């Protein structure tokens, strides 16, 4: 029996994590796994810190991932990577965007945005794959494609054919943005 | 067909397959998507009602007319609709009627953490609790059969983790359902003489439902180790299975009102230790204890916040590991008003004028977050106007700097009655209707003031200015919150006048697709003196770099509120 695998997708409300979780969920479903995805809607989406859970395996019970359980953290923003770090399992893998988005307490001067977060996480012996997804997304044609760039990078860690990833992406994005998203996926994958 | 489906969408699918023809709801997280998904099916009717009470009464009317009907609301929405619910328990239904109430343990998007199971008990109606999307679909269909068989409205309780989680469902075909209306004064006209005859029927129905619960497939025993027996329901069941798998015995309740007493007693006899795992109130635990059974629950797990697998592990003394963390303090990231939010300019003005602000439920509740922090109270839908009336009645002076702020959708929901009281009983405060032409916080639903229906088609439209005047408010004016001078002048003038007034702060939500954005602004670093005047509005697109303000062009929509605050005219358009 396959142990349930856990992915958490973290970021700032409005960054597109719902689409990323939808694609991952569909992908694992197509591979024949039992899947659960848990999201947060409403108040937290207004620029707050958001976390989405994706779990797959032979039989998945809980819809959420708890601290110390995540095989993967997929992060849209480096401060959020640090915030949810304790959710990573020992030997888990982080795939993160290096982008920094200042939260309101930092903007108002009530708090400081910590420096060199990726290096500090690495120094803890944590496996972290960090890249500038915003830049790659812009290269692909839209700053909004950060989510697909991240999935492209994440695809390294799964033994799933690129064709299948692309099929699932095609199912989930509007046709006119398909080429852009395919490009974003490859840029992330080959970064 | 096998698909991955959101719990709320699975409810909508269940409604469709059950042949439901009429859905009326008021949006509220985490219930909103049920109605949004249902309206996507062909040949069904769904609508946004002005509030939950109207929605439930409308669904009741459709049931009376012989069509299966439905309404959904969040937990606090059921408080608004409690009035029809408690008496619909007496009348029963004609065609089946099902009501979803969506609880929010953990308060992801709510003002309290009340437990809706108390409503089911008090109203004496059955309650089903699905634990995943497949059950959400299946229970919804079964709820209609229960509703018709036992002649009762049926509550289906969702919670955030069932409503907003996707899991696998098998979909089926729709079966049409039609019944005729038959006049029955004794059953449907609830005046004392008739209601007295209905009450014993309600009590007898509860007894029969309890009997049904003993053998219903909704409740099931999963036999495992007998050293521990756990009674659980809803999402708590999933956490229990995650932690214990098949190593313990579980009594999973899909129907939590009324409870199956014999099933519980027999289960208790088989296990050495009995624990109830339930979020929020100890409803099942207290009932089990009242049956004379030794049971644990609240001694192990709190009645506050939602559960998770680690909380269950901790409660039962099981070990679990937690990942790394950094030494750095990680600044919190609370939700904020979006860049270009039309509410921002208004709240900046209210703060500048040092107003006491009685608030309401919506995106603008974020006016309470620093640096604006321009809010003194938020209670429930519509409370801003009621509270303003009382606040200014007992303190005449307060009327000179106290305002109520309420969104367009919330005003129609239950602010109108508050305004009627202000006009009728002659208090003197200023009410500001934040008309952003949409129901914002729940994700852009139309309402009676937008002129569009749930599908975005042209519909009736309440003229807010004419309505306020018709209610007896003589001073009604419109101001643009992007224009700081205009909005400040309006607030100052209305506060200075010794009678009640309404300001409609009108500007559509910046996230609406049809809203055309201006080019992002850019700070001329040579002009910027780093005075931070522009930082007072708490715009997420503005930050300070090297003692100069900078605008994030990805977020900025060119609303210009920041530019209006700059003493050096340092803000210019990227295009200009």
Same domain for B44 and B165: yes
Does residue B295 share a domain with residue B362?
Answer: no
Instruction: Tell whether B329 is covered by a domain.
Output: no
B63 touches chain A (CB under 8 A): no
Decide: B234 and B279 in contact? Cβ < 8 Å: yes
pTM of model > 0.90: yes
Evaluate if residue B254 carries a pLDDT over 90.
yes
Tokens coding B341 = 């939010």
Among candidate residues B475, B506, B537, the one where a domain is terminated:
B506
Cβ–Cβ gap B239/A61 under 8 Å = yes
- Counting Cα atoms < 13 Å in the Cβ hemisphere of B329 gives 7
Q: Does A123 touch chain B (CB under 8 A)?
A: no
* Residue B4 contacts A, CB cutoff 8 Å: yes
> Looking at the structure, do residues B63 and B145 belong to the same domain, yes or no?
yes
Domain of B459?
Answer: 343-506
Domain boundary among B197, B215, B233: B215
pLDDT value at residue B2: 85
Look up the ipTM and state it. Answer: 0.96
pLDDT at position B345 is: 96
Q: At what angle do helices B383-393 and B416-424 cross, to 10 degrees?
A: 20
Residues B100 and B131 in one domain: yes
Structure tokens at B92: 């029963």
- How many distinct structural domains can be found in chain A? 1
Same domain, B136 and B45: yes
Chain A hits for B75, CB-CB cut-off 8 Å, are: none
Structure tokens at A53: 């859970």
B445 CA to chain A: closest CA distance, Å?
12
B513 at A interface, C-beta within 8 A = no
Number of folded domains that form chain B: 4
Would you place residue A42 in the very low, low, confident or very high pLDDT band (cuts 50, 70, 90)? Answer: low
Mutate one of A20, A47, A48, A109 to test the B interface: name it (highest B CB count within 10 A).
Answer: A47
CATH of the domain at A48: 3.40.920.10
Q: Does B32 touch chain A (CB under 8 A)?
A: yes
Q: How far is B228 from chain A (nearest CA, A)?
A: 19
| Residues B141 and B102 reside in one and the same domain | yes
- B232 within domain boundaries: yes
Minimal Cα–Cα distance from A189 to chain B, Å? Answer: 24
Whether B314 and chain A come into contact, CB under 8 Å, resolves to no
The CATH number for B567's domain is 3.30.70.20
Confirm or reject contact between A139 and chain B (CB < 8 A). Answer: no
- The model's pLDDT over B424-449, given as tens digits with 9 standing for 90+, comes to 999 999 999 999 999 999 999 999 99
B277 and B401 belong to one structural domain: no
Average pLDDT of the residues in B502-512: 96
Tell me the count of A-B CB pairs closer than 8 A.
197
Instruction: Confirm or reject contact between B3 and chain A (CB < 8 A).
Output: yes
- A85: nearest CB among B30, B309, B326: B326
Indicate the range of A35-44, A153-162, B21-30 predicted with least confidence.
A35-44
Which of B297, B316, B335 is the last residue in one of the domains? B316
Specify whether B60 is located in the same domain as B163: yes
Task: Evaluate whether B449 touches B464 at the Cβ level (below 8 Å).
Answer: yes
**CA separation for the pair A64, A49 (Å, rounded):** 16
User: pLDDT by residue (tens digit) across B67-106?
Assistant: 999 999 999 999 999 999 999 999 999 999 999 999 999 9
Query: Min CA distance, B502 vs chain A (Å)?
Result: 27
* Whole-number average pLDDT of chain A: 95
Query: Both B24 and B139 in a single domain?
Result: yes
Q: What pairing do the DSSP bridges indicate for beta strands B402-407 and B219-222? A: unpaired
Distance CA B86, CA B83 (A): 6
* Token reading at A82: 């640090």
User: Does the CB of B167 have a partner CB in chain A at under 8 Å?
Assistant: yes
- Asked whether the bond before B371 is cis by omega within 30 degrees of 0, the reply is yes
Which residues span the domain enclosing A62? 5-190
Residue A108: the pLDDT is 86
Does B398 share its domain with B308? Answer: no
Average pLDDT, chain B: 97
Q: Is the pLDDT assigned to residue B162 strictly greater than 80?
A: yes
Contact B336 A46 (CB under 8 A): yes
Give tens-digit pLDDT for A178-187.
Answer: 999 999 999 9
Domain CATH number, residue B133: 3.40.50.970
What is the predicted pLDDT for the residue at A16? 87
CA distance A51 to chain B (A): 12
Two structure tokens written together for A95: 């795939």
Indicate whether B9 and B99 sit together in one domain. Answer: yes
> Exposed/middle/buried for B451, CB within 10 Å: 0-12, 13-18, 19+?
middle
In a domain, B391, yes or no: yes
Burial B251-265 (b: 16+ CB within 10 A, else e): bbbbbbbbbbbebbe
Are B40 and B177 part of one and the same domain?
yes
Contacts of B386 (CB under 8 A, 6+ apart): B418, B421
User: Which tens digit of pLDDT belongs to each residue from B31-43?
Assistant: 999 999 999 999 8
Q: Rounded to 5 degrees, what angle do the CA atoms B209, B213, B217 make? A: 130
């Amino acid at each position: 029996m396959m142990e349930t695998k856990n992915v958490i997708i973290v970021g700032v409300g409005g960054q597109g994590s719902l689409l990323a979780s939808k694609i991952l969920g569909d992908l694992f479903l197509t591979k024949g796994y039992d899947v659960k995805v848990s999201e947060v809607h409403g108040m937290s989406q207004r620029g707050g810190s958001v976390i989405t859970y994706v779990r797959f395996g032979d039989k998945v019970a809980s819809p959420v991932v708890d601290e110390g359980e995540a095989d993967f953290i997929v992060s849209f923003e480096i401060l959020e990577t640090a915030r949810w770090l304790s959710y990573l399992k020992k030997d888990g893998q982080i795939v993160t965007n290096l982008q920094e988005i200042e939260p309101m307490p930092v903007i108002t001067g009530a708090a400081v945005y910590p420096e060199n977060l990726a290096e500090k996480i690495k120094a803890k012996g944590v496996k972290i794959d960090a890249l500038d997804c915003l830049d790659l997304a812009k290269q692909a044609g839209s700053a909004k494609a950060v989510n697909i760039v991240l999935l492209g990078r994440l695809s390294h860690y799964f033994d799933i054919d690129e064709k299948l990833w692309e099929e699932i992406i095609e199912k989930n994005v509007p046709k006119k943005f398909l080429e852009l998203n395919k490009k974003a996926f490859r840029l992330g994958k080959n970064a | 067909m096998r698909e991955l489906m959101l719990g709320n969408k699975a409810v909508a699918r269940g409604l469709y397959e059950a042949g439901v023809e009429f859905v009326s709801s008021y949006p509220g997280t985490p219930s909103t998507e049920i109605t949004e998904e249902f309206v996507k099916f062909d040949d069904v009717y769904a609508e946004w009602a002005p509030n939950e009470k109207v929605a439930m009464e409308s669904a009741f009317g459709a049931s009376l007319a012989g069509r299966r009907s439905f309404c959904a609301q969040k937990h606090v929405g059921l408080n608004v609709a409690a009035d029809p619910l408690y008496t619909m328990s007496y009348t029963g239904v004609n065609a089946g009627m099902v009501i979803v109430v969506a609880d929010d343990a953990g308060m992801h998007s709510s003002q309290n953490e009340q437990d809706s199971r108390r409503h089911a008990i008090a109203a004496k109606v059955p309650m089903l609790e699905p634990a995943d999307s497949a059950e959400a679909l299946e229970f919804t269909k079964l709820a209609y059969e229960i509703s018709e068989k036992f002649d009762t409205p049926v509550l289906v309780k969702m919670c955030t983790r069932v409503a907003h989680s996707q899991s696998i469902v098998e979909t089926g075909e729709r079966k049409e359902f039609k019944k005729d209306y038959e006049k029955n004064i004794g059953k449907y006209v609830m005046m004392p003489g008739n209601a007295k005859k209905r009450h014993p029927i309600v009590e007898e129905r509860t007894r029969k439902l309890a009997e049904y619960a003993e053998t219903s497939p909704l409740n099931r025993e999963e036999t495992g180790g007998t050293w521990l027996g756990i009674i659980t329901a809803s999402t708590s069941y999933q956490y229990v299975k995650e932690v214990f798998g098949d190593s313990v015995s579980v009594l999973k309740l899909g129907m939590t009102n009324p409870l199956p007493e014999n099933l519980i007693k027999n289960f208790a006899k088989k296990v050495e230790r009995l624990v109830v795992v339930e979020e929020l109130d100890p409803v099942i635990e207290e009932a089990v204890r009242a049956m004379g059974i030794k049971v644990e629950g609240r001694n192990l797990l709190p009645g506050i916040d939602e559960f998770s697998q680690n909380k269950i592990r901790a409660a039962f003394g099981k070990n679990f590991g937690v990942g790394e963390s950094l030494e750095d303090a990680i600044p919190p990231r609370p939700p904020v008003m979006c860049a270009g939010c039309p509410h921002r300019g208004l709240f900046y003005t209210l703060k500048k004028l040092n107003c006491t602000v009685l608030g309401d439920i919506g995106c603008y509740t974020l006016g309470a977050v620093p640096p604006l922090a321009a809010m003194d109270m938020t209670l429930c839908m519509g409370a801003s106007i009621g509270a303003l009336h009382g606040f200014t009645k007992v303190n005449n002076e307060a009327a000179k700097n106290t305002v109520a702020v309420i969104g367009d959708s919330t005003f129609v929901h239950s602010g109108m009655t508050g305004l009627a009281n202000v006009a009728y009983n002659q208090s003197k405060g200023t009410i500001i209707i934040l008309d952003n032409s949409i129901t914002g916080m729940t994700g852009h639903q139309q309402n009676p003031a937008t002129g569009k229906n749930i599908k975005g088609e042209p519909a009736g439209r309440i003229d807010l200015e004419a309505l306020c005047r018709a209610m007896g408010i003589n001073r009604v004016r419109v101001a643009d919150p992007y224009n700081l001078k205009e909005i400040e002048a309006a607030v100052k003038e209305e506060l200075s006048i010794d009678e009640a007034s309404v300001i409609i702060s009108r500007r559509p939500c910046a996230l609406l697709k049809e809203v055309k954005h201006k080019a992002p602004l850019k700070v001329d670093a040579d002009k910027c003196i780093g005075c931070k005047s522009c930082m007072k509005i708490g715009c997420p697109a503005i930050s300070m770099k090297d003692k100069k303000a900078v605008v994030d062009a990805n977020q900025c929509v060119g609303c210009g509120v920041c530019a209006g605050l700059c003493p050096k005219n340092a803000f210019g358009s990227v295009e200009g």
